[in-house]
A and B are shown apart, each in its own frame.
Chain A
Amino acid sequence: MSVYKRFHNATHLCATTGILLYATSSGASGTGFIGLLFVFFAWTLFGRTATSPIPRIAINTSLLLASGYMMLRVSAAPGDAIVILSEYLVVLLLIKLFEDRTPRDQAQSLAICAMLGVGAVLTDLSMWTGVLLITHIVVLLIASTRYQLWAGHHATYARSDTASADTIETVPSQGRRTRWRLRVVTLLLLTMIGVGGVTIFIAMPRRASDSSARFDIFGEEATSVSGFQDHIQLGAAGLISQSREVVATVGLETDGLLLTQPVFRYFRGSTQDEYDTRKGLWSASNVLKRYEHGRRLAIGIAEGDHGAHLDRGEYELPALNSGRNAGRFPDGLNVIDQHFELVNKTSDNLFALAQPIQVAYAGQSWINLNPIDRTLTLPGRVQKQAYSVRSATNYARPPTPEEWEDYTTRRSERPNPFEDEQVGHALRELALEIMANAGIEREFDAPPSREDDRIVRLFEQHLGERCAYTLEMVAPDDQRDATVYFLFDSKRGHCEYFASALAGLCRSVGIDARLVTGFVTSEVNQDTGRYVIRKSHAHAWVEAPVVESVAFYPENDPERDMIREDRLLWKTYDPSPQSFLGSSTLAGSSFTDTLRMWLYRFEDLWVASVVQYDADAQQSLLGISGDEQVETLGGWLDTMAANQTGVISGAPMWVRRLMVPGLAIAGCVLVAIAFRRLGVDHAVLKRRTRDRRTRKGVTRIDRALRRLNAPRPEHRALLDHARLMQGESRTALERVANVMYKERFGGSSSTRGETAEAIVALERLSKGGEHARA
């Protein structure tokens, strides 16, 4: 097999792993499949030649279109810049596979493959991404070594008529021995890089994980592609990705006993009580946001001051009914303690089972409790976050009367989209029909009652029977509301559509339901006894205010015992078919279950030893603490980030949107200038420019000759053709040929003007109409 063929195979293998890596990290299986098809075609159809079968103009047009499309997309969705840039890199790579195989183009392909690895790391941290990343690095390094052999060979012999067989006279170690030696050296290199890379990964000083300042141009507009989100955007078409990346692990405990039953657990993250029918967007209303920082629960302070203070640095929950809690919590309280370890905290929201009453964590900031929707927030994005929450599922500490009155007043003032003509009318008709079939009636302005629970259950049942669950969505027409389209037309959707439809039906009859986003999981790692939360466990469901008998502490009198009476309670309803949730518990004993169990064990190992490896883990492993210099550098970066955020946040949004493509273009220009300045490939660039100019000149000359009725055959040189002509046209063509050859081979650029003048003279002559038959 030739050097070219070996390198060619290595490059295509590298492209394959790169595209697989992109598809896995971004969840873009469709793009990945199409990309792999392209690689396969390039590998098989274009495998034996170095000359592209596709015209240059088509390649350049594709590059231009792809770049333009990428810029448009980045400016439209700057928060997804990393994913879009990765996709752009994949497209570039595919185009490059069909280009002429010059060393420069191949080096660019390898560079793109390397950048795909960086893009994947910034997008996803799952085990499969890690495994593919390591495979990709190995293949990339092998391809790079083969590139050196091929590029050197190509640069020396590409234009030579006599190939290496002629020029290498005595080659005692060509053939099998060379290949073996190359393999051994490659293995040595890979070992060195593997050991070196892992050593640096382990020993590299790290910053403490509570630093929160980051470079973020778009601030709150930045969104994540998959997994948990603090809002719900309906109406988008496409396939929802199912990433298995681990988001968190949770240990559940009650009365000191570990809960390991594979029961679905709803971990709430955020609520949305406002719906924009024009955008199909559910988000938290300003009224709700007012209470976001309403109460601070930190370092073991129980909500309502019913807890005890713990020292900083600890985050264990205080024992129930001990210390300051003594006598506060009755025996009948159904309490579950949750010990969370978030792998990568990318939003302010913390997750917890319903009704959190106590929280503890080791850190500098406060954890906030919203008294209206009872969600927890901790500002900042960190790599690893551990905290504990105590929830009492049969306990309700309602908002204070002032808080509740303020909230209901403000809510009544804002418009309810489910009351208007377009959306509300259709939903209301359906809701009334369902209620009428069950013989229930309800006034729109009626206060919450026990009957409301039955009504919501009826709606939930209706959705379960009439609508199907799917992850592949079709966008509604521009004029139609996404919820209405789901309920009456497509009747297919995922959890967000089910939840939106249920909330819409409830609101159309006056039940003030809201959406909740978070995670639902029943996956328990039997080795650790902890629930595993993955991105694919992200879910949306509904909470509606109903009247139920609940236990609570009377307001304004904390010394009194807990009482039980009918109170307003936000109850959980999940309209999505339970079948889609599935069961992820490894309880079986079949071969596949055993395999899955080992796979999950390996995944746990990956998360624990790679993804969650931080300063604390480094301290416990190596016994060294974070370097002060690194902290200083980190602090400097934080200051820069803060300054940058301050400067940029004042700029208009369109400026911020254009910033990423603008920076990308500026970077490319700088790199190009650097290449030119450093003189790299300067001779090649000069030669190519000269060749291009010559080609253009010859095209113009041929056009003039055709007009002179003396066309030149391709094989005949200009001077030879001139000698076959007569009259002025012969003289003019001879002059053109002479100055052109002088410029082309004499290496003199001063004749460029002369060449242009001579060609113009010839063209002028041809327009004059002289005929000179060659």
Chain B
Amino acid sequence: MRLQRKYRPRASSLLFVGVTAFLGIGAIQADPNLMPLIFGVAIAGLVSSGLVGGMMLMGLRPRRLPLGSAQVGTVFRVRYELESRARFLPSFALGISETPSPKRRPGWEEYFSREGGAGRAFVAQVGPRESVRAVGRFEPVKRGACAFCGVEVTSGFPFGLFHKVVASRQGARVLIRPRVRALRPGAVPRLLSRLGHEAQTSRKRRTGEEFFSLREYVEGDSPRFIAWRTSARLDTLVIREHAERTWHRVRALLLVSPEAASEDVERAIELYASLSSALVRTEVSLSMRVPQASASFDGARPASIGALLDALALLDHTSPVPEAFESTREALVLVRTDEVSGLPTAPAGCIVFTSRDLDRLAKSVGGEA
């Protein structure tokens, strides 16, 4: 692990040095005589602050623990471990954060909010030969893949005159998935009814839970399914049959126009992610297609959503759009951008949602699924 140590001057330290210089001039004039004492204390404060603060960070080894995936709108916790190899001196007031990205290159900073202490962790103390774990709270604001360069530990202890930094290079890549919002109550049933699905009877007798019909008893039927009350009324044995509801297959498709504005694209992706997450929890047999991200999931289950979101995280809306829709017997739900240029015409019977529908279908921000 390669460590880099540096002092980072701040305005307060420059101000203190300026005031100390003025005190020095007053002390040289030696009128009154306590001024040299104050000047001495100020100089000793500067020196001891630099010495003790620097020594405190000498034995520190910061490390970032393995990262998971992040999601816009959800707190992303990054776990750090601070190990002190010092023999005697503990370290105090340690702020842990990610090393700033090199200038002129898009860095992780644009993917995370920096407000309200987000993006940093704090450890009050690490004793000699101890290790402490801390968690930094990051608030992703934009989907995509970002890279962390390294971890740095900063401390202004003891007096905040100098901020000492120990940085270690540890590259890591984080995938930030799009936001998934909960849909409004009734949104999913309304969609299903629009799909026009009817329950189909299963000929598999005695399966399912829904009552289907009655028929005469034949040899071999289980006595468990005899409807005794009806048999008594009709004076013949009658068997109760159950049915199993099955649904048509539904295909959810996302298409984004290369010409669409960035906000339009993001809202479409957010709507698609939210809709897919909601549908996959129903009994619909769902297949998900994002041709521009080469993502295809048939017979999707809730576990598939993670993979879908990973694909959406990397979706580049300038990727080529398929010229025509695949022919399919599945009911088609299309989510697209408001901008339609470059998109194929939706086939008849297809239910289309645009990015504008996001606020109508989904709960307001804060109601993540």
Chain B residue numbers with a CB within 8 Å of A186 are 158
Q: Check B32–A122 contact: CB distance below 8 A.
A: yes
Chain B residue numbers with a CB within 8 Å of A182 are 92, 125
Considering the complex, give the chain B residue whose CB is closest to the CB of A671.
Answer: B15
Residue from the list B36, B127, B157 in contact with A204, Cβ < 8 A: B36
Chain A residue numbers with a CB within 8 Å of B44 are 192-197, 199-200
Chain A residue numbers with a CB within 8 Å of B359 are 719
Considering the complex, give the chain B residue whose CB is closest to the CB of A212.
Answer: B31
Shortest Cβ distance from residue A469 to the other chain B in the assembled complex, whole angstroms: 31
Tell me which residues from 46 to 64 in chain B have a Cβ below 8 Å from any Cβ of chain A: 47-48, 51-52
| Cα-based distance from A563 to B33 in the complex (angstroms) | 49
Knowing A167-B137, A192-B44, A381-B31 touch, does A141 contact B122 (C-beta < 8 A)? Answer: no
Shortest Cβ distance from residue A479 to the other chain B in the assembled complex, whole angstroms: 41
* Number of chain A residues close to chain B: CB under 8 A: 85
A651 at the interface (CB under 8 A from B): no
Listed stretches B110-118, B180-188, B326-334; interface member: B110-118
Q: Check A178–B124 contact: CB distance below 8 A.
A: yes
Interface mask (B15-42 → A, CB under 8 Å = 1, otherwise 0):
1000000010101111111111111110
Chain A residue numbers with a CB within 8 Å of B52 are 185, 188-189, 192
Residue from the list A125, A156, A168 in contact with B32, Cβ < 8 A: A125
A-binding residues in B (CB < 8 A): 10-12, 14-15, 23, 25, 27-41, 43-45, 47-48, 51-52, 79, 89-90, 92-95, 114-118, 120-127, 130, 132-135, 137, 155-160, 359, 364
| Cα-based distance from A674 to B11 in the complex (angstroms) | 8
Tell me which residues from 644 to 679 in chain A have a Cβ below 8 Å from any Cβ of chain B: 671, 674-675, 678
Q: Check A717–B38 contact: CB distance below 8 A.
A: no
Q: Check A181–B116 contact: CB distance below 8 A.
A: no
Q: Check A149–B93 contact: CB distance below 8 A.
A: yes
Residue from the list A170, A174, A177, A634 in contact with B133, Cβ < 8 A: A170
Q: Check B11–A678 contact: CB distance below 8 A.
A: yes
A350 at the interface (CB under 8 A from B): no
Knowing A122-B32, A145-B159 touch, does A160 contact B15 (C-beta < 8 A)? Answer: no
Chain B residue numbers with a CB within 8 Å of A612 are 33
Knowing A193-B48, A637-B29 touch, does A174 contact B34 (C-beta < 8 A)? Answer: no
| Cα-based distance from A189 to B51 in the complex (angstroms) | 10
Q: Check A160–B34 contact: CB distance below 8 A.
A: no
| Cα-based distance from A438 to B25 in the complex (angstroms) | 63
Residue from the list B89, B116, B124 in contact with A153, Cβ < 8 A: B124
Residue from the list A170, A193, A717 in contact with B41, Cβ < 8 A: A193
| Cα-based distance from A680 to B160 in the complex (angstroms) | 14
Complex A-B, nearest 9 residue pairs according to Cβ-Cβ distance, in ascending order: A196-B44, A159-B116, A200-B40, A197-B40, A156-B122, A197-B41, A173-B127, A680-B11, A192-B48
Q: Check A133–B34 contact: CB distance below 8 A.
A: yes
Shortest Cβ distance from residue A108 to the other chain B in the assembled complex, whole angstroms: 11
Tell me which residues from 433 to 481 in chain A have a Cβ below 8 Å from any Cβ of chain B: none
A96 at the interface (CB under 8 A from B): no
Considering the complex, give the chain B residue whose CB is closest to the CB of A129.
Answer: B34
A498 at the interface (CB under 8 A from B): no
| Cα-based distance from A214 to B29 in the complex (angstroms) | 8
| Cα-based distance from A160 to B113 in the complex (angstroms) | 13
| Cα-based distance from A630 to B36 in the complex (angstroms) | 13
Chain B residue numbers with a CB within 8 Å of A168 are 123-124, 132-135
Q: Check A207–B28 contact: CB distance below 8 A.
A: yes
Chain A residue numbers with a CB within 8 Å of B123 are 168, 171
Interface mask (A132-164 → B, CB under 8 Å = 1, otherwise 0):
010001000100110111011101111110101
Considering the complex, give the chain A residue whose CB is closest to the CB of B30.
Answer: A206
A611 at the interface (CB under 8 A from B): yes
